[in-house]
Structure 1
């Protein structure tokens, strides 16, 4: 009850903020984006636009499973209800066929649709606002070139009061900062290119920054990691070298992880594997290297003392059960000492993704299994089978605990209840 009252109070504050913004603006109007020159949809512009749309991973959200490209219709679960992604093919009636390049840039830059509707922040306009007008026009030209699909957009199914778009004015006041990317003159051109891709089209902060109860995130906590809402995966911190911080990685290993999906330091699974599959594998070597340079240079924000092994916290019985499960099910690929056989089978000893404070990803991998993405540079990836049908909650917890504390790993123990919580999310 108290949580509900706090939420209603927060919504009231947002509503007041929204009223203030509305009083500042002309009634029923929002500022127009700058007018641009008419876009000539030459082959070169369309090709560049396709590349940039890949960098933005537009197809991942705007294409339903087994559906036509960019025709929308995909349900996007959120803590506030389901959003249905719109059709962005150039169909005049149900898509964006009647949009101009100015309309498209306004949407990308300000999060406002052609008809003045405020977009929900599941559309990453808070990141896309950094995209230059030239790149926005190229993406627009590409989308105008794809086959139009007549498929009506489904209305969102959001709970009250989140179905009231007026509240978005308050959200925007708190969490949205409009403005194209501005290069840092103190950094190299390569660093700036990487920052532009990571902060803008790549919208990496959307997953790698914790989301609060109102669906917003703090700019001061950008890239510090957090649970991905409704996906039940933890996106690790990119600013902590004890999670996914890359400060002590070689550039080549970062490039391989982003573009190939596997490297000698780790492997992508879950949502990140989808990003590699749909987007990053198609980027040029130069652009992926620029992203790697920027990510490696992110300032480390570790404030806690270095962790130590937690093996002493594990009962001997649990440790022995975990050791036996590991020897039977895991050692064949990952080695008796957890050193793995890279890049096919990642190491578990000294692996930051294994010892993170959140054990969610490790538990899910044991339960669900998974494959690294099939990419142009790794078309036949090795995978890990699921063990949910073989291992009990106690065995899952024991083996995950074992790999988190063995070989001087500094993780913490896992309980059967944590394993059961994630097991209940498995499809029947």
Structure 2
């Protein structure tokens, strides 16, 4: 029996049955057939993982029906299939490639500079380089003030110590020159409670060793006791020394740092002012009713000056040290009530040189709040979020101390 045209065409074209033509004229030749009249040419296959144009999308129903019949789904004439079956490993590879491309950092031809909300508005307003050239320190005859002076002299800075007791100032100067014979140390005896004397002493310090680009308000006093056991004069004295003493130094220092002109040879514009607060200024503690409010007020002053002084390139910092081994702490410990002694005993005391180094590191990094130690950091960052739990803990410690 002779084969008909359809049989010969089937032997000549080994393609699957669905590609055979049902026309009585025989099947088309193998390979892609030319587009029919009125239809567009087939589009090239899209790249794996790329977007699918809406014109190439097929309905899920047509694909499902086609797969049920053993095919790949119905296709529109002259167009590529919108979806084709892929092994699971290939889909995972496409997903990983797309995710890697999306998360890959894109290079910038011109990197965008990082600017802070309180950053100086002009390049000339940037603070001077660190370490400072000349530092003026109130309360620099002992304690944390003297430790700061020793650390700054070791960094090559000139220091001017401002304090009330002239003999203690002379002793501090001998200590600094014994450690560093080439140290440049200036001494000015004054009372920080007198704003006129502080302004005159600051001007004298600049005449002795040049413009001051780092002012440290470290002079302070502390008294502990119950409210009824302290006289009103104690509250006034602590506020005058701790708050107004720092303000009396900040006013002339800020005016001098703002008013300099580098073009006139007066030194670089700007500078830094460091307020030495206390961890007691972050949370009120029993027994510190006279001392803690003064440090709270000092932090409010620092926050106000921070925004005000930023356009002129003056950096404001406030440190929150814990109990520090100083002569003042030795005298204060005998006045503490049992509740305060129990609470303070959970943290321990720091050495003055360690506290000074932590403060200077914070200033060099441009930090506004400088908590010293884990306890001060927790009081600054964590205590506001869990204040009810902190209050319960304080109440328990105080009740246990009272017996």
**Range of TM-score over shorter length:** under 0.3
* More strand per residue: 2
TM-score, normalised on structure 1?
0.23
* TM-score normalized by the length of structure 2: 0.24
Query: Which structure would you say has the larger Rg?
Result: 2
